[in-house]
A and B are shown apart, each in its own frame.
Chain A
Amino acid sequence: MSVTPDLVDDPKRAVRAARWAEFKVFTRRFMRNPLGVLGLVIVVLLLLCAAFAPLLATHDPYLPSLADRLAPPSATYWLGADELGRDIYSRIVYGSQLTLLIVALVIVTSAPIGLIIGAVSGTVGGWVDVIFMRITDVFLAIPKLLLALAFVAALGPGITNAALAITLTAWPPYARLARAEALVVRNSDYVNAVRLAGASEFRIIVFHVIPMCLSSVIVRMTFDMAGIILTAAGLGFIGLGAQPPLPEWGAMISTGRKFIFDQWWVATVPGIAIFTVSLGFNLLGDAMRDLLDPHLRQRK
């Protein structure tokens, strides 16, 4: 008692100290996973690349220069030039902004939708649960890319519509996750205590169920980002994502496709960018799961 009197006197500081200690343990365990660190480095590089695109780019990504059409990689054009003579390196640097934009749009819409549907479904139960989970199952049972494709085909191509279409296919796993957590939390003692104290179902869902779902949802989100990037690139490749002249990586592969045999760099370089970024998110997701997943944490 005498050792930690200040902590008891100052509960806020105690909480902060505990959080800081937890964070330090978390970081140390994360640093022990080299692949996870590599993933984090890739993701941070992507963020920096998007933030400082105007500084990093050597050319205007939109300015055509027909004299340098399909120029091979050189000192001026580090990664070559595309079919309009635009610098591929600069376009990739600017393309990182589009990739992040799509990922962010999809994540900020699909995760909350899934989280709310799942938490409500699991907490309230009964008919609401049956209906919500049926709808979720239907969405889960339909091939994702095709659904997104048909959806964008109807709405018309573009970044926002592509993101909307991916959201439509991305929310069900979150709903499943959140429901599973909610089913456990719903009957726990502290929730019953809050309920006895007169809290409404709304309050229970928002302040007590949803926070408990967050850790598994965050793990899932990191994994999903790789999938979202690939789907967005696929839509871009088909011609339904970002429209020209936007430097979206998938669309860049699609234009480079015509020159794959003679000017291979036009199509291969954006693909390497997609691969690297999606690998980064996958590695990070793997590491996050090992650290945050409560089921795995207990085993070790």
Chain B
Amino acid sequence: MNRPLRLFIDIGSWLITVAITLIGLAALTFFIGRVLPIDPVLSIVGEKATPEVYQKVYLELGLDKPLWAQFWDYLNKLLRGDFGTSFSTSRPVLTDLLNFFPATLELSTIGLIIGVVLGVPMGVASAYWHEKWPDHLLRVIGLVGYSVPVFWLGLVGLFVFYYLLGWVSGPGQLDVFFVGVVDRVTGSILIDSALAGEWEIFGNAISHMILPAMLLGYYSLAYISRMTRSVMLDQLSREYVLTARLKGASEFRAVAGHALRNAAIPLVTVIALSYGGLLEGSVLIETIFSWPGIGNYIYSSLFAADMNAVLGGTLLVGVVFILLNMLSDVLYRALDPRSREFAK
């Protein structure tokens, strides 16, 4: 088969996979939102509604139609960007989500950067000194990261670094008197304040962000360093590393220049996956730090029994998560020449 055609088929089948997964996600939220509650009408009109009102809402929700038709309507609405209206803020859910998403994205991106910058060297060191003390030490650090409840670590972090030591600022994105000073351009407080030249606010934002970002970073570090370790262990035992050493390459060059370069390809997948994990982890972290992001939005909507907002948030994070997964798949193929050569 010639190349362009094969590429076309590859991209086509990839798009179909993405589409099926997204429809599956929509089916799940549809199921949770419409099918699970005993009576979706009652949850809107309340117990004391007259039969007329009940009937009206019943028809408005389209509950008289068969289930597949309801799902079809639901999909159409989603594609038009209609996630319903939030009961608590009485704004369209999509507007709310777009409002809160940049803060989450900013926090988890910085968390990811911390996780990669620390996690990859840790994993490499762990593999290089396999079964020596650095390996054991780093393994314990990773295991603790796997085992500790992230929301508890957030609370303890606040207690120690904010209350006892006073090194960082407390919950929230900015000190109260800075809120609303900077015009919202991108939604990311660091970029916005830098654009406006408000360096005082920039510094304040950093001192608020550093603790939650470090915690998220630690959370992803556990995963990234573990995966780096196992990939590097595999690479370091290969013959090309031995060859490089025999030809007189320095240890640093053999490890960083040869082995790590080959390990980088699977690591891209790992990093993309942990980015998705961070978006999810930020739900709990945000509630601890009153961070004005999606996680906090979902959390407060839960208590207002605002299912549209909860499901909308779930959908948005789910879509980003799925796209990241799929992106990592594509990156893997694009970076690794072997997976191109031998693709069926």
Contacts and interface: CB of A to CB of B under 8 A. Distances in A.
A238 interface: yes
Interface stretch (B102-110, B198-206, B251-259, B297-305): B297-305
B287 interface: yes
Chain B interface mostly helix, strand, loop or mixed?
Answer: helix
B55 interface: no
Interface stretch (A16-24, A109-117, A142-150): A142-150
Given A138-B20, A226-B146, A261-B163, A147 B28 contact: yes
Given A141-B21, A260-B159, A153 B302 contact: yes
A247 to B, nearest CB: 16
Contacts of A88: none
A250 interface: yes
B156 A271 contact: yes
B149 A134 contact: no
B143 interface: yes
Interface string B146-161: 1111111101101100
Nearest to B276: A143
Contact of A237 (B20, B28, B151, B276): B151
Nearest to B34: A154
Interface residues of B, number: 48
Contacts of B33: 154
A275 interface: yes
A257 interface: yes
Chain A interface mostly helix, strand, loop or mixed?
Answer: helix
A271 B284 CA distance: 14
Contact of B314 (A139, A149, A264, A286): A149
Interface in B183-226: none
Contact of A155 (B20, B36, B311): B36
A150 B314 contact: yes
A72 interface: no
Interface in B282-319: 283-284, 287-288, 298-299, 302-303, 307, 310-311, 313-314, 317-318
Given A138-B24, A143-B317, A234-B149, A279 B280 contact: no
A253 B155 contact: yes
Interface string A193-235: 0000000000000000000000000000000001000100110
B299 A238 contact: yes
B155 A257 contact: yes
Given A239-B303, A275-B148, A234 B156 contact: no
Nearest to A155: B36
Contacts of B156: 268, 271
Interface string A119-133: 000000000000000
Contact of A141 (B29, B163, B310, B322): B322
A150 B310 contact: yes
Given A146-B318, A155-B36, A279-B144, A271 B152 contact: yes
Contact of A138 (B21, B36, B279, B317): B21
Contacts of B313: 146
A143 B280 contact: yes
B83 interface: no
Contacts of A239: 302-303
A149 B318 CA distance: 13
B25 interface: yes
A260 B302 contact: no
Contacts of B280: 143-146
A238 B318 CA distance: 19
Contacts of B24: 134-135, 137-139, 141
Contacts, number: 133
A138 B28 contact: yes
A103 interface: no
A153 B310 contact: yes
Contacts of B288: 257
A282 interface: yes
B146 A147 contact: no
Contact of A154 (B25, B32, B283): B32
B298 A149 contact: yes
Contact of A147 (B21, B37, B303, B314): B314
Contacts of A151: 32, 36
A138 B18 CA distance: 10
A134 B143 contact: no
Given A154-B37, A260-B159, A142 B149 contact: no
Contacts of A275: 144, 147-149, 152
A79 to B, nearest CB: 15
Nearest to B321: A143
A145 B151 CA distance: 13
Nearest to A279: B147
B155 A260 contact: yes
A96 interface: no
B325 interface: yes
A251 B325 CA distance: 32
Interface string A286-297: 100000000000
Contacts of B27: 138
Contacts of B321: 141-143
A267 interface: yes
Which 3 pairs across A and B sit closest by C-beta, in order of nearness?
A138-B24, A271-B152, A279-B147
30 contacts: A134-B20, A138-B20, A138-B21, A138-B24, A138-B27, A142-B28, A143-B276, A143-B277, A146-B313, A147-B28, A149-B283, A150-B29, A150-B311, A151-B36, A154-B33, A154-B37, A230-B149, A238-B299, A240-B302, A253-B149, A253-B152, A260-B155, A260-B163, A267-B155, A271-B149, A271-B152, A275-B149, A278-B146, A282-B146, A282-B147
Given A146-B318, A154-B32, 14 more contacts: A134-B20, A146-B280, A149-B310, A150-B29, A153-B302, A154-B33, A230-B149, A234-B150, A261-B159, A274-B149, A278-B146, A278-B148, A278-B149, A279-B143
